[in-house]
Amino acid sequence: MPNSVRGPGGSSRPVRSTVGVRGETGPFVSRRAPGTRRTRGAGLSVDQRGRRNRWGLAGLITLLVLVVGRLVIVQGIDGGAYANAAEQDRLRNYTIAALRGQVLDRDGNPLAYTVDASRVVADPEVVKDPRRTALALTTLLDVPVPELTEKLSQDRRYVVLASRVPPETSDAIEELELSGVFLEDDPERLYPAGAVGGQVVGFVGREGAGLAGIERTFEDQLSGTDGKRTVEVGSGGHPIPSGIDESTPATDGHDVTLTLDQDLQFVTDQRLGQACSDGATTQASAVVLDVRTAEVVAMGSCPGYDPGRYSETDPDLLGNPVVSDVFEPGSIMKAVTLAAAIEEGKATPDRVLTVNGHIDAGDRVVTDAHDHAPVDWTVTGILAKSSNVGTIMLAREVGDAVLEKYLRAFGVGEATGIELPGESRGILQESGEWTASRAANVPIGQGVSVTTLQMASIYQAIANGGVRVEPRIVRSVTSPGGKVTPTAEPESTRVVSESTAEDLAYMLEAVVGPGGTAPLAQVEGFRVAGKTGTAQRANPETGSYAGGGYITTFVGFAPADDPQYVVAVDLERPTSSAEGGQVAAPVFADIMRAALTGRAVVPSGTPRPEFDLTG
């Protein structure tokens, strides 16, 4: 029976069972055969399919245009930038280290200089075979293979394999052309004299900058200016032979010539070392000045240090006590007190005073080294015997304010301006604030503090006819091109008249003569003038003089009839009561002897005068 479809009104009519054929009045009927899938859009008309194809083609063309446009931009407009970026990625910039200038003694002997050396570094990411590279370097660098292999295997872009490698080793490494292994400038600073003059010369730190002494003061002149090298490298990090290689050369540092005499400096350091080995002296310092120019010919302290091994030294010893440490100098200051008295017309060398063994000073009593009955001493005898009481008597005639004026004129309480870092001004309280006891102590060298250099400067003025010249330790600076620039002339100041200076020189010679306190300061063949000092040392543990021991000093010049050199010596002796004439004077004599003979100074041509010490 034929199929039928109910029409409107419930009537039915026969239809054909042909699949996919639209009926005359009924809907389109589609049937799937078993096992077939339905495809989306299978029912679109031809027009619809055409429109879709046209839109797809348009989109494809648009995408193609965008891609081609981008290629044009990349290869054309931005091509130069990308090429430059690629080139920059192959460029390496290296610092060309400037060679630091030399530090020389007065005769041109090197105290510090720099030699070429290299730092061997690596980029582990570029190293192809860490162990094989380590095997190639181990003998050259004297570093074990396991240590090198570990460094070359690190997850880093930069490791240091060795420092301060000499040029011959660097050349051998370059010839290996090891992937990822490079050389950098790493100049080495050398101090051929070792500890001789070390406190003056100073040292440089790991970054190559001066940290002490002349190395620090003249950092700008010594350091120079680094250069730069830009090279194009290949995949292994090594320069491409035909690639970019541009350099800006380094400008080496200037040389600094000092006033030091290396030979005399050696003797000074050796003698101070002997002093420090006596079991009682914990620190010893000395300085030698040229009388006419105030140039420092030698300067040192014990204990000292070797600048080349500064990192192994106690940091507390890395200064220069000659210019930085202050102490109460004791009786060497009596020369200033008597200079003021003579210059002010209060004394002459042969004036006689009756001197008791003690004198009241406010709430204190000051005595001579040993209390004694009244003695008639000349002013020369007061200095030769180092009488505290006689000196205080003359200071009271001068007055506190006038004495302070002379102390400051001689440089006490003011830095000398020497070309060294860390210089102390010393300590000198204004006279308006002096108590009665301090007014008695200052004239004899207590209650006032100086450096070893200031102490020497006082006696340089006396030996130089009353004219004080500011001490200097640098003679000249020489550019890499050889231009020598002398340092500026130091300032000179007349402190006392020439006649007063002559009277003082005569009186100071009596100190070293018969009946004086320092016969051990004599130097065979030469007349010597000078003064001993023995001052109480402040005890840092108690904050007082109790248990502090003494500072012993001697300062003098020779030949007394034609002064050439001043030598100042001070010894810190916390457990000893020995006086300056016993322990400091012999050190002075040995250093002065070396200074005079080393520079071929002619022995004194006149005999030592006779001295009237008593009335």
DSSP letters of 391-407?
HHHHHHHH-HHHHHHHH
4 — pLDDT class (breaks 50, 70, 90) = very low
| Residue 406 CB coordination number (10 Å) | 19
Instruction: Based on the fold, state whether residues 312 and 352 are members of the same structural domain.
Output: yes
Question: Could you tell me the CA-to-CA distances from 96 to 231, 246, 380, 557, 611 in Å, in that order?
Answer: 12, 12, 66, 50, 68
> Which among 257, 286, 317 is the end of a domain?
257
Give residue 73's pLDDT.
63
- pLDDT, mean over the chain: 88
> Which among 225, 257, 289 is the end of a domain?
257
Q: CA-to-CA distance for 130 and 563, rounded, in angstroms?
A: 70
Ranking 48-52, 174-178, 209-213, 515-519 by mean pLDDT, the lowest is: 48-52
Predicted confidence (pLDDT) at residue 596 exceeds the cutoff of 50: yes
Predicted confidence (pLDDT) at residue 21 exceeds the cutoff of 70: no
User: Does residue 373 belong to any structural domain of this protein?
Assistant: yes
pLDDT average, residue stretch 459-466: 98
User: Does residue 71 belong to any structural domain of this protein?
Assistant: no
Q: CA-to-CA distance for 606 and 250, rounded, in angstroms?
A: 58
DSSP H helices, 161-239, are: 167-176, 198-201, 213-217, 219-223
Residues contacting 335, CB < 8 A, separation 6+: 383, 458, 459, 462, 504, 508, 531
Active site residues: 331
92 — pLDDT class (breaks 50, 70, 90) = confident
User: Does residue 78 belong to any structural domain of this protein?
Assistant: no
Instruction: Based on the fold, state whether residues 219 and 342 are members of the same structural domain.
Output: no
Q: CA-to-CA distance for 392 and 198, rounded, in angstroms?
A: 41
Q: What is the CA radius of gyration of the chain?
A: 45
Ranking 49-53, 286-290, 343-347 by mean pLDDT, the lowest is: 49-53
pLDDT digits (tens, 9 = 90+) for 356-394: 999 999 999 999 988 999 999 999 999 999 999 999 999
204 — pLDDT class (breaks 50, 70, 90) = very high
Instruction: Based on the fold, state whether residues 439 and 422 are members of the same structural domain.
Output: yes
First to last CA, the chain: 175
pLDDT average, residue stretch 450-479: 98
- Give the domain extent around 343: 262-598
Instruction: Based on the fold, state whether residues 355 and 466 are members of the same structural domain.
Output: yes
Predicted confidence (pLDDT) at residue 534 exceeds the cutoff of 70: yes
Instruction: Based on the fold, state whether residues 204 and 267 are members of the same structural domain.
Output: no
User: Does residue 27 belong to any structural domain of this protein?
Assistant: no
| Position with higher pLDDT, 276 vs 68 | 276
Instruction: Based on the fold, state whether residues 247 and 270 are members of the same structural domain.
Output: no
pLDDT average, residue stretch 194-200: 97
Determine contact, residues 307/191, Cβ cutoff 8 Å: yes
Ranking 515-529, 537-551, 564-578, 592-606 by mean pLDDT, the lowest is: 537-551
Predicted confidence (pLDDT) at residue 87 exceeds the cutoff of 90: no
User: Does residue 82 belong to any structural domain of this protein?
Assistant: no
Instruction: Based on the fold, state whether residues 253 and 303 are members of the same structural domain.
Output: no
User: Does residue 173 belong to any structural domain of this protein?
Assistant: yes
Ranking 128-142, 236-250, 254-268, 574-588 by mean pLDDT, the lowest is: 236-250
> Which among 257, 275, 305 is the end of a domain?
257
Instruction: Based on the fold, state whether residues 230 and 379 are members of the same structural domain.
Output: no
User: Does residue 611 belong to any structural domain of this protein?
Assistant: no
Tokens describing residue 123: 């980029």
- Matching residue, tokens 């003698």: 271
Instruction: Based on the fold, state whether residues 105 and 218 are members of the same structural domain.
Output: yes
Instruction: Based on the fold, state whether residues 243 and 290 are members of the same structural domain.
Output: no
- Matching residue, tokens 């009926």: 23
Instruction: Based on the fold, state whether residues 372 and 480 are members of the same structural domain.
Output: yes
| Position with higher pLDDT, 439 vs 541 | 439
pLDDT digits (tens, 9 = 90+) for 231-269: 787 766 667 777 787 889 999 999 999 999 999 999 999
19 — pLDDT class (breaks 50, 70, 90) = very low
Domain count, the chain: 2
User: Does residue 125 belong to any structural domain of this protein?
Assistant: no
Give residue 377's pLDDT.
97
Instruction: Based on the fold, state whether residues 232 and 277 are members of the same structural domain.
Output: no
Residue 406 belongs to domain with CATH number: 3.40.710.10
Q: CA-to-CA distance for 555 and 530, rounded, in angstroms?
A: 5
Give residue 75's pLDDT.
61
Tokens describing residue 122: 């690596």
Residue 248 belongs to domain with CATH number: 3.90.1310.10
